[in-house]
Amino acid sequence: MKQEKNFTDSAGGTQPAESRQISENIILCRDGSYRWIYEFPMLRNPVILLTVLKVLLLPLLILFCFLLSLHLLDGEAPVPSPGEAKVFLLLTVFFLLLGLLAYFVLAALKRFRYCVLFEMNELGISHTELPRSFRAAQRVAVLTVAAGLATGHLGTVGTGLLAAAKQSSSSEFSKLRSIRVLRHFNTIKLNMALERNQVYTAPEDFDFVLGFIEKHLPQRCRKS
């Protein structure tokens, strides 16, 4: 039986000497990070749309609560008048339509596909949105280049795609306040004090990724 070679990183952890396939989608790279690319059609998965609508409607909800508090301060029942209720109803419909339109425009700009590279290790998870020029056939090239950037061994194929990546953010496990598991949408929401990120996986990889995250959560972190 062939014994797998390992090396020790600068932090004292043991890491594989060579990259290896954990599943059809996830690769454990030489730097000890798990990497995978997830892509989904934006018109079929409502997770991002719900996030957009929440951002748009939250200020309206705060304003509505403020109005009710004014009624209480005036010694009145915390119930909006018919005129106020009509205004807030119209505003709600307006913001819902605005959110749907904005999301459709955003999806069209991305060619109705959302594609992101995830890199997960003992410290946290980074999220890098890949450009709309990404194709499924380039998946291995991008993962290889991402691993090369981390280890200092760069290849040439896929470098341009990573350079064109539009957005990148990270979620440190030690800073997480809560996580929310949406298994039906293959999504794990990571909530920090001032930042929120979402992790997407294939259905067959969901338990592995969730288990890794749960293993590294601080004690104060809540799960729902």
Kindly write down the DSSP assignment for every residue of 66-125, as one continuous string.
HHHHHHHHTT--S---HHHHHHHHHHHHHHHHHHHHHHHHHHHHTTTEEEEEEEE-SSEE
Token pair listed for 177 = 């306040």
φ and ψ at residue 77, rounded to 5 degrees: -70, 140
Domain of 86? 47-109
Tell me if 66 is assigned to some domain: yes
The last residue of one of the domains, among 109, 126, 154, is 109
| Same-domain pairing of 64 and 97 | yes
| Same-domain pairing of 174 and 215 | yes
Q: What's the pLDDT score for residue 169?
A: 83
Sheet bearing 222-223, strands edge to edge: 196-200, 187-191, 178-182, 222-223
| Same-domain pairing of 139 and 212 | yes
The last residue of one of the domains, among 109, 135, 163, is 109
The last residue of one of the domains, among 85, 109, 133, is 109
Mean predicted confidence (pLDDT) in 91-97: 90
For the stretch 30-45, pLDDT in tens is: 888 898 988 888 888 7
For the stretch 168-222, pLDDT in tens is: 788 999 999 999 999 998 999 999 988 888 999 999 999 999 999 999 999 899 9
For the stretch 124-165, pLDDT in tens is: 999 888 766 455 444 444 455 454 444 444 343 333 434 444
Q: Is the pLDDT of residue 5 over 50?
A: no
Q: Is the pLDDT of residue 6 over 80?
A: no
Q: How far is CA 131 from the centre of its chain?
A: 16
Tell me if 131 is assigned to some domain: yes
Give the C-alpha separation, 176 to 125, whole Å: 11
Give the global pTM: 0.69
Its sign, for the CA torsion 4, 29, 208, 12, is positive
| Same-domain pairing of 126 and 182 | yes
Tell me if 12 is assigned to some domain: yes
Question: Facing residues of 200 across strands?
Answer: 187
| Same-domain pairing of 147 and 202 | yes
Helix (H) / strand (E) element for 194: namely none
| Same-domain pairing of 122 and 214 | yes
| Same-domain pairing of 123 and 98 | no
How buried is residue 48: exposed, middle or buried, by Cβ count under 10 Å (0-12/13-18/19+)? middle
Q: Is the pLDDT of residue 16 over 50?
A: yes
Tell me if 159 is assigned to some domain: yes
Question: CA of 24: how far to CAs of 3, 27, 203, in Å?
Answer: 22, 8, 11
- Contact between 164 and 133 under an 8 Å Cβ cutoff? The reply is yes
| Same-domain pairing of 201 and 115 | yes
| Same-domain pairing of 218 and 127 | yes
The structural domain count of the chain equals 2
Q: Is the pLDDT of residue 10 over 60?
A: no
Tell me if 190 is assigned to some domain: yes
Q: What's the pLDDT score for residue 52?
A: 82
| Same-domain pairing of 67 and 19 | no
**Does residue 76 sit in helix, strand or coil?**
coil
Q: What's the pLDDT score for residue 188?
A: 95
| Same-domain pairing of 24 and 100 | no
Tell me if 105 is assigned to some domain: yes
Q: What's the pLDDT score for residue 17?
A: 55
Tell me if 183 is assigned to some domain: yes
> Which residues, in sequence order, are CB contacts of 158 under 8 Å at separation 6+?
138, 141, 142, 144, 145
Tell me if 1 is assigned to some domain: no
Q: What is the DSSP letter of 46?
A: -
What b/e sequence results for 62-88 when a residue is b if at least 16 CB atoms lie within 10 Å of its CB, and e otherwise?
A: eebeeeeeeeeeeeeeeebeeeeeeeb
| Same-domain pairing of 76 and 137 | no
